[in-house]
Amino acid sequence: MPATSLTDRVLESLVGAGLVTAEQVASVREAAASRGVSLGVVLVERDLVGPSDIVSVLEHEMGVPQVDLASYAPEDDALALIPAALARGRRVLPLFEIEGMLTVAVGDPMDVFGLDALAGELGLEVEPVLADGPSFAAALDQYYGAEQAGGATAAPQAAPAPEPAPEVAASDFFEEVAESTPAVPVMPASEPGPAVAVEGSVALEEMAAAAPAGAAGAGIDLDVLAVADSRKVAVLVQGILEDAVARGATRIHLLPYKDDFFLVYRVKGALEKIASAPLSLQAPLVDGLKQYARLGGVPATRPALGRMRARIAERDLVLTTSVVPTIAGQRLVISLAAFRERPRGLEELGMSEAEARALKAMVERGRGILLVCAPVAGGSSTTYYALLAHAASAGKTVYSVEQSIEHEIPAVAQVMLEPGGPSPAAYIAAGMRQDTDVIAIDGLRSVEDVHLAVEAAGLGKLVVATFPAADIASGVHRMLELGAEPHSLAAALTLGVGQRLVRLNCPNCSVETDGALAARIPGAPAGLIDRGGSGCPNCGKSGFRGATAIHEVLPFTEPVRSAVGRGGGREEIAGAALAAGMRPLVVAGLARVKSGDVSAEELDRVVRYSDRTE
C-alpha cells in the first residue's frame, strides 16, 4: 500500500535507506499499538534507529528543512491554533499556516511520529521542520510562557494583536489547497486501540468546557436531531453549509468526543465552536451530510471520501467530504474551496521562459516520464494540473489518477482514489489498457507504481508523475532505493522538474538587510542587495505576503541516464545534472533574491545553502 501519513513516509524512508526492515517495522507497529505508545519510543527502545537517523531521512529523503528559532518568529495566527498544553504535550511549536497546511518545529526528531495524531486533532495537515533542542525549548517558553511547577504555564508572551489585514491568499502563485483531511488511524468499534482525536485532545477538552451540550450558534439548532425527521435534517444540513460559507469558513468539522459531539468551523485558520449536542444525536446529521455529499451508500464502519461541486450562498464551491470511523463515532470533515474555472498556466508558475518552453514541448511531442519532484506542500500538484491542462489543450487524450482532485479539467479523465478502494497501481494499469496519450499520476508512492510508470513509458506514452522529494536527484535516487530497476528507469526518464515554495517579501515593509547571508549564496555577485520584510499590519507582522516557486528543469541526457543506470547515489546524479547544464534550485532562488522578491534568509530556510558554504 502507498504511504499516506507522515509516519508511513518516514518509516518507508527508513526501510529504503536500509536502516530497518519491513518485518521490523511491522513488529514495531504492533508493539506500539499494543502498548499505546509512539512508534518512536519502540524504535529507540529496540535500538533500531536513533535521532540522527531520523534527521537524515527527513532532510535528505523527504526534504524537511532546519530552522533557526533564535532568528525566526512564529506567526500569531499559527500560535493561536495550538493551545499551550497541547503544544507542550506534543512538543511542537507552530510557525505558520498556509491554506490548511500548518508548519511546526520539532526539537526532538523522534517527535515526528506524533504529528499524525496532532493533525487529526486539529483537522489540518501538519508539516515538520527541524530545530535544535535548546533553541526549541527556549522558543516554547518564549511564545507560550515558562512552565511553572506542577505543570502550569505562565501567561504567553504573545506579540500584540495585529491590525486586521486585508484578505490576501497565502499563496498567490501556488495554492496547495488541502481538500481532504490527513490520514488518521481507523479502528473498528469492536477492537480496542489508541483514541483518534478523542482522549488527550486539549482542543476538544477546551470546547467541552466552554459551553454545555446543546448550546448552539446563531441560526444552528441541533435540537431538531432529536426528532430525526429526514426533512428537518435536510434543512439543518443546508443551514449549516450556508452558515459556514457566510462566516468565511474553509472547513466544517463534526467531532465526536466522550458523550457529546461538536459542530466546529475553521475560520481564518482558527477553530470556532458553533454548537454541540449529545453524541446519541450525531448519526442523523452525519447521514444527512453524507447524503448531501453523495456518500449515503457507504456504511458507518468504513471510511469515505467524496468530492462535488455545489452552489451555496451564491458561491460556486467544491466540497470534499471525508468521513472516518473512530472509537467514539464518525468524524466528518468537509473542505470548502472556491471553484476555479481552470488551473494556472505554465507561464504563471514562476519558472523561466526557457523552462516553461521545455515543458510545453515535452507535453506536446514527448514520451517517457516527466517527473515533478517537490517536498510535501511544495506546489507539485499545481504544476501537475498546469501540465495536464496544456496536454489537453494540445489535443492529447489524458488519463489522471489523483489522491484529491483540486481542478476539474473537462478534457481529462480524472480518477480520485478512495479509502479502501483499488490501489493507485490498479488504476494506472487500467489506464494503460485504454487509448491514452498521457497517463498522469499525482503521487507515485510504491515501487509498483514506479514499475507501471516505467512500463507505460516503454509503450510510447507520456507519463506525468509527481514524487515527494527535495529535488530531482533526490527523487530519482529515492526511486532506485524503493526498488526500481536502474536501467529501465534510466531509459524511461525524459524530463525532470524540481521545485520548492518560497514566501515573498511583503512589498509594504520590505527593507534592506546587512547582506551577510546573501553574499554566501552560490554564484552571488559582489554587493548583492538583500531585502526582507520587517513586519507590518498588511502582512500580519510576518514580513511575508504570498508565495511563489523556484524550479530546476533537467532533460535526461545520456550522461545523466548513465549515472541513473549505474544506480548512482544522489551526489553522482546531481553532479551529472549540473554538468548537463541544469540550473539548480539555489541559483533559481538567487534570481528571486536579486529582484528583491525573496529574502536570502527565506531562500536559506528552503534550500539550506549556508550549510554548504560553512
pLDDT tens figures, 577-607: 999 999 999 999 999 999 999 999 999 988 8
190 Cβ contact list (under 8 Å, min separation 6): none
Whether 180 and 406 have beta carbons less than 8 Å apart is answered as no
Segment 359-379 mean pLDDT: 87
Alpha-carbon gap, residue 417 to 396, rounded angstroms: 23
Segment 117-121 mean pLDDT: 81
Supply the pLDDT for residue 404: 74
Supply the pLDDT for residue 376: 66
Q: Which residue has the higher pLDDT, 477 or 48?
A: 477
- pTM check: above 0.75: no
Cβ-count burial 453-491 (b if 16+ within 10 Å, e if not): bbbbbeeebbbbbbbbbbbbbbbbbbbbbbebbbebbbb
pLDDT in tens, 398-407: 999 987 777 8
Supply the pLDDT for residue 8: 84
Q: What is the DSSP string of 214-278?
A: T-B-TT--GGGGGTT-HHHHHHHHHHHHHHHHHTTEEEEEEEEETTEEEEEEEETTEEEEEEEEE
Domain ranges of the chain: 6-151, 202-338, 346-499+550-582, 507-542+584-614
Confidence band of 567 (pLDDT split at 50, 70, 90): very high
Per mean pLDDT, which of 6-20, 261-275, 557-571 is the most reliable? 557-571
pLDDT of 178 > 50? The answer is no
Alpha-carbon gap, residue 443 to 384, rounded angstroms: 10
Alpha-carbon gap, residue 442 to 416, rounded angstroms: 10
What's domain 346-499+550-582's architecture?
3-Layer(aba) Sandwich (3.40)
Confidence band of 531 (pLDDT split at 50, 70, 90): very high
Q: Which residue has the higher pLDDT, 596 or 335?
A: 596
pLDDT of 435 > 80? The answer is yes
Q: What is the DSSP string of 57-92?
A: IIIIIT-PPB--GGG----HHHHHHS-HHHHHHHT-
Supply the pLDDT for residue 82: 87
Segment 450-470 mean pLDDT: 91
Segment 424-429 mean pLDDT: 86
Q: Which residue has the higher pLDDT, 242 or 410?
A: 242
pLDDT of 153 > 60? The answer is no
Of the listed ranges 196-210, 229-243, 600-614, the least confidently predicted one is 196-210
Of the listed ranges 86-90, 147-151, 360-364, 502-506, the least confidently predicted one is 147-151
What's domain 202-338's architecture?
2-Layer Sandwich (3.30)
Supply the pLDDT for residue 268: 60
Mean pLDDT score of the chain? 80
Supply the pLDDT for residue 172: 29
pLDDT in tens, 254-299: 988 778 888 988 876 567 888 889 988 999 999 999 999 888 888 8
pLDDT of 17 > 50? The answer is yes
Class of the CATH domain delimited by 6-151:
alpha beta
Residue 529: how many other CB atoms lie within 10 Å: 11
Helix (H, G, I), strand (E, B) or coil at 330: strand
Supply the pLDDT for residue 40: 82
pLDDT of 217 > 50? The answer is no
Segment 476-493 mean pLDDT: 93
Give yes or no on whether 202-338 and 346-499+550-582 have one common fold. Answer: no
Per mean pLDDT, which of 128-142, 202-216, 321-335, 472-486 is the most reliable? 472-486
